Amino acid sequence: MPQAHRTQRPSRRQVLAIATHAPLGWLAMATMATGRLADPPPDTADAEPTVIPIRRDDPDRYQNFVINWDAGTEVLCAVVRTPADYARLFHPAPVIGGKKPLAPPEAAFEKEHLLVIARVVGGDGGSSLAIERVVEKEGSLEVYGRFQPSTAQSSFSIKQAALAWIPAREPGPVTFIENDTTIATLDTGKDAWVVPDLPEESTASE
Percentage of the residues of the chain whose pLDDT score is greater than 90: 57
Nearest alpha-carbon partner for 161 in 194, 115, 195, 196: 115
**Residue 90 in domain:** yes
User: Are 152 and 78 members of one domain?
Assistant: yes
Q: Which whole number is the average pLDDT over 172-179?
A: 97
Q: What is the mean pLDDT of residues 50-74?
A: 93
Same domain, 24 and 59: no
- Mean pLDDT within 58-71: 91
How many structural domains compose the chain? 2
> If we measure between CA atoms, which residue out of 7, 44, 12, 45 comes closest to residue 30?
12
3-state SS class at 184: strand
122 and 159 within one domain: yes
Q: β-strand 112-122 against 140-148: which pairing, if any? A: unpaired
Tell me, what's the pLDDT at 55? Answer: 98
Residue of 95, 88, 92, 139 whose CA lies nearest to 114: 88
Nearest Cα residue to 127 out of 85, 179, 190: 179
pLDDT for 112: 98
CB 42 within 8 A of CB 157: no
Give 104-160 pLDDT, tens digit per residue.
999 999 999 999 999 999 988 889 999 999 999 998 999 999 999 998 888 889 999
Average pLDDT, the chain: 83
For residue 110, tell me if it sits in a domain. yes
Q: State which residues form the domain around 146.
A: 50-195
Higher-scoring residue by pLDDT: 141, 73: 141
pTM of structure = 0.74
Q: Per-residue pLDDT for 27 more than 60?
A: no
